[in-house]
Amino acid sequence: MSPREAAALDALPALPRDDDGPVFAEPWQASAFAMTLALSERGLFSWAEWVETFSGELKRAADAGTPDDGSRYYHHWLAALERLIAEKGLADPVLLAGARDAWDRAAKATPHGKPIALAKEDLARIRSTG
């Protein structure tokens, strides 16, 4: 990990990590993390904007009574990413919500250990919304 990457990660409150960097309990967490880094690196938002948005999401969750035990960290991460993407006009909030719902349905319908695939009708719905 470069000193620049380490400094960027140090700006994040309570990031689950070990000596090698961030750790993820599930693949979607790594995907959300990677998307955030990629969008920031491409200049679509600054890292400072990300940290501010994510910190705000953590505060909203705490104010709503969500326990701060780390189990929902990446759920808050994803909510902050969706918020920032919508605020920047990078994607339509309705499209994001539809895609999230489609993936949720697909995940719930997929047997453990099998790849998650969106239903054709969900793919068509997402494409027509975008």
* Mean pLDDT for the stretch of residues 13-22: 72
What are the tens digits of pLDDT across the range 70-84?
788 889 999 999 899
What residue segments make up the domains of the chain, in order of their start?
1-89, 92-130
Assign residue 49 a region: left if phi > 0, alpha if psi is -120 to 50, beta otherwise?
Answer: alpha
pLDDT of 1 higher than 60? no
pTM over 0.75: no
CATH number of this structure's domain 1-89, picked from the four choices 2.40.70, 1.10.1760, 1.10.10, 1.10.472: 1.10.472
| pLDDT value of position 63 | 92
pLDDT > 90 fraction of the chain, expressed in percent and rounded? 29
* Mean pLDDT for the stretch of residues 94-101: 81
**What distance in Å separates the CA atoms of residue 126 and residue 94, rounded to the nearest whole number?**
10
Cα-based distances in Å from 80 to 2, 56, 115, 118: 25, 8, 26, 24
pLDDT of 45 higher than 90? yes
